[in-house]
Amino acid sequence: MKFNLFIIFIFLILLSCVSNVKNDIKKTSYSGMGFAYIYNDEDFVNKVISKKFNNEKLVFAHQYLKIGTLVKITNLVNKKSLTLEVTKKSKYPDFYKILITRAVAEKIGLSFEVPLVEIFEISKNKTFVAKKATTFNEEKKIFKSAPVMKVKIDNLLKTENKKKKPINNFSILIKEFYSKE
């Protein structure tokens, strides 16, 4: 009986020594540049694409993003952009970054020969912009007891005003990364 109590006591000591480890892995937003796959009904019939879409609607699909994720699609040539929500997950060739309908391509003025786009996932409720600040009567009473010397308002958006040159030519390198040996 004493031996059993001793084993339980040792076991409890070992359990109490285990630290609480938290995985603070911050999720990064998805972003990428590449070619958009413009939907065609023949591709669904030939099983190049796994889902069927309506070409008149502003719809797009992605292989990895969750349904309901907000994504900003930008045409890199004319800088027109469109914010849409992921409506479907679909399989399409791995070379392309996103699958869009013809209506989306026409809305952002995308060239059908070279459909070069930038994709950026928009995180919900990450930041907000205060338009107007008001001081209430209760806050004015606190000001008398604790005076404020300086107020600083920072811009939370990290934007740079650098002009990018339009992309006129590009090259695609395709290479195998393995061998039979």
| CATH number attached to the domain at 31-122 | 2.40.40.10
Average pLDDT over residues 33-45: 87
Beta strands in 2-113 (DSSP E): 31-38, 60-62, 70-75, 81-85, 88-89, 98-100
Strands 60-62 and 88-89: parallel
pTM exceeding the 0.75 threshold for the entire prediction: no
Supply the pLDDT for residue 92. 87
The CA distance from 68 to 88, in Å, is 9
**Is pLDDT above 70 for 119?**
yes
pLDDT digits (tens, 9 = 90+) for 14-34: 656 555 545 545 567 788 888
**Residue ranges per domain, the chain?**
31-122
